[in-house]
Structure 1
Amino acid sequence: MCQHQPSCPTASSADRESARLVAHHPEQGWSLLCNGVLLFEDTGELLPDGQVIDPHRPAVTAVTAA
Protein backbone atom coordinates (compact mmCIF):
# COMPACT_ATOMS: atom_id res chain seq x y z
CA MET A 1 0.00 0.00 0.00
CA CYS A 2 2.67 2.50 0.98
CA GLN A 3 4.09 4.61 -1.84
CA HIS A 4 6.47 6.62 0.40
CA GLN A 5 10.24 6.55 0.12
CA PRO A 6 11.53 5.17 2.38
CA SER A 7 8.52 2.90 2.84
CA CYS A 8 6.49 3.02 6.03
CA PRO A 9 6.55 -0.01 8.35
CA THR A 10 4.26 -2.85 7.30
CA ALA A 11 1.17 -3.79 9.30
CA SER A 12 3.05 -6.79 10.72
CA SER A 13 6.02 -4.70 11.95
CA ALA A 14 6.41 -3.90 15.63
CA ASP A 15 6.58 -0.17 14.76
CA ARG A 16 3.44 -0.25 12.51
CA GLU A 17 1.94 2.75 14.38
CA SER A 18 4.64 5.05 12.94
CA ALA A 19 3.24 4.78 9.39
CA ARG A 20 1.83 7.96 7.85
CA LEU A 21 -1.79 8.97 8.30
CA VAL A 22 -4.08 8.54 5.32
CA ALA A 23 -7.32 9.52 7.07
CA HIS A 24 -7.92 11.00 10.51
CA HIS A 25 -11.37 11.13 12.11
CA PRO A 26 -10.99 12.23 15.75
CA GLU A 27 -14.74 12.86 16.00
CA GLN A 28 -15.22 9.12 15.38
CA GLY A 29 -12.13 8.00 17.32
CA TRP A 30 -10.06 6.39 14.55
CA SER A 31 -7.31 6.94 12.02
CA LEU A 32 -6.22 4.98 8.96
CA LEU A 33 -2.50 4.53 8.39
CA CYS A 34 -0.92 4.00 4.96
CA ASN A 35 -0.05 0.41 5.87
CA GLY A 36 -3.77 -0.38 6.22
CA VAL A 37 -3.90 -0.34 10.02
CA LEU A 38 -6.94 1.22 11.66
CA LEU A 39 -5.70 2.93 14.81
CA PHE A 40 -8.34 3.70 17.45
CA GLU A 41 -8.36 6.48 20.03
CA ASP A 42 -8.14 3.94 22.89
CA THR A 43 -4.87 2.63 21.32
CA GLY A 44 -6.52 -0.53 19.98
CA GLU A 45 -5.82 -1.51 16.38
CA LEU A 46 -7.42 -3.45 13.55
CA LEU A 47 -4.89 -4.91 11.13
CA PRO A 48 -5.63 -5.40 7.41
CA ASP A 49 -5.86 -9.19 7.90
CA GLY A 50 -8.64 -8.73 10.48
CA GLN A 51 -6.44 -9.30 13.54
CA VAL A 52 -7.48 -7.21 16.54
CA ILE A 53 -4.81 -5.64 18.76
CA ASP A 54 -6.20 -4.83 22.19
CA PRO A 55 -5.72 -1.32 23.59
CA HIS A 56 -2.28 -0.92 25.13
CA ARG A 57 -2.40 2.29 27.09
CA PRO A 58 -0.08 2.49 30.06
CA ALA A 59 -1.82 1.47 33.26
CA VAL A 60 -2.87 4.42 35.38
CA THR A 61 -2.36 4.05 39.10
CA ALA A 62 -4.00 6.13 41.77
CA VAL A 63 -1.80 8.33 43.90
CA THR A 64 -2.83 8.71 47.51
CA ALA A 65 -1.85 11.63 49.72
CA ALA A 66 0.24 10.73 52.74
Structure 2
Amino acid sequence: MCQHQPPCPPADARDREAACLMAFHPEQGWGLLCNGVVLFDDRGELLPDGRSVPSRRPDRREVLGRAA
Protein backbone atom coordinates (compact mmCIF):
# COMPACT_ATOMS: atom_id res chain seq x y z
CA MET A 1 0.00 0.00 0.00
CA CYS A 2 2.81 2.43 0.90
CA GLN A 3 4.63 4.00 -2.05
CA HIS A 4 7.17 5.97 0.02
CA GLN A 5 10.95 5.47 -0.28
CA PRO A 6 12.14 4.18 2.05
CA PRO A 7 8.87 2.38 2.75
CA CYS A 8 6.94 3.18 5.90
CA PRO A 9 6.62 0.48 8.56
CA PRO A 10 4.04 -2.20 7.68
CA ALA A 11 0.83 -2.61 9.66
CA ASP A 12 2.20 -5.57 11.61
CA ALA A 13 5.39 -3.77 12.71
CA ARG A 14 5.86 -2.54 16.25
CA ASP A 15 6.42 1.03 14.95
CA ARG A 16 3.41 1.00 12.57
CA GLU A 17 2.26 4.42 13.85
CA ALA A 18 5.34 5.99 12.18
CA ALA A 19 3.75 5.51 8.73
CA CYS A 20 2.64 8.60 6.81
CA LEU A 21 -0.82 10.02 7.41
CA MET A 22 -2.90 9.76 4.22
CA ALA A 23 -6.31 10.96 5.45
CA PHE A 24 -7.24 12.84 8.60
CA HIS A 25 -10.73 13.45 9.96
CA PRO A 26 -10.30 15.15 13.35
CA GLU A 27 -14.01 15.99 13.49
CA GLN A 28 -14.67 12.22 13.49
CA GLY A 29 -11.63 11.32 15.58
CA TRP A 30 -9.62 9.17 13.17
CA GLY A 31 -6.85 9.14 10.59
CA LEU A 32 -5.66 6.64 7.97
CA LEU A 33 -1.99 5.76 7.60
CA CYS A 34 -0.44 4.64 4.31
CA ASN A 35 0.06 1.13 5.73
CA GLY A 36 -3.72 0.73 6.12
CA VAL A 37 -3.88 1.31 9.88
CA VAL A 38 -6.71 3.50 11.15
CA LEU A 39 -5.68 5.53 14.21
CA PHE A 40 -8.31 6.87 16.57
CA ASP A 41 -7.94 9.96 18.73
CA ASP A 42 -8.01 7.80 21.88
CA ARG A 43 -4.87 6.10 20.44
CA GLY A 44 -6.68 2.88 19.66
CA GLU A 45 -6.04 1.31 16.25
CA LEU A 46 -7.82 -0.77 13.64
CA LEU A 47 -5.46 -2.92 11.59
CA PRO A 48 -6.07 -3.71 7.89
CA ASP A 49 -6.93 -7.34 8.72
CA GLY A 50 -9.77 -6.19 11.00
CA ARG A 51 -8.03 -6.71 14.34
CA SER A 52 -8.34 -3.92 16.86
CA VAL A 53 -5.60 -2.63 19.12
CA PRO A 54 -6.91 -1.12 22.35
CA SER A 55 -6.10 2.42 23.33
CA ARG A 56 -2.77 2.96 25.02
CA ARG A 57 -4.03 6.10 26.67
CA PRO A 58 -3.04 5.87 30.34
CA ASP A 59 -5.69 4.96 32.84
CA ARG A 60 -6.86 7.90 34.99
CA ARG A 61 -5.28 6.23 38.05
CA GLU A 62 -1.92 6.07 36.26
CA VAL A 63 -2.12 9.77 35.43
CA LEU A 64 -2.89 10.64 39.04
CA GLY A 65 -0.06 8.39 40.23
CA ARG A 66 -2.09 6.29 42.60
CA ALA A 67 -3.85 2.96 42.74
CA ALA A 68 -7.62 2.79 43.05
TM-score by length of 1: 0.89
What letter corresponds to residue 64 of structure 2 in structure 1? A
Offset at residue 57 of structure 1 (A) = 1.2
Aligned length: 63
Could you tell me which residue of structure 2 aligns to residue 37 of structure 1?
Answer: 37
1:20 — aligned with what? 20
Give the letter for the 2:30 counterpart.
Answer: W
Alignment-derived partner of residue 52 in structure 2: 52
Counterpart CA distance in 2 for 1:57 and 1:18 is: 17
Give the match for residue 64 of structure 2. 62
1:4-40 per-residue CA deviation (whole Å, 9 max, x = no partner) reads 0000000000000010000000000000000000000
Aligned-partner SS, 1:17: helix
**1:37 is aligned with what amino acid?**
V
Partners of 1:15 and 1:62 in 2: CA distance: 28
Give the partner amino acid of 2:15. D
Higher CA-based Rg: 1
Distance 2:19 2:58 in 1: 21
Q: Secondary structure at the match of 2:59?
A: coil
Gaps of 5+ in 2: none
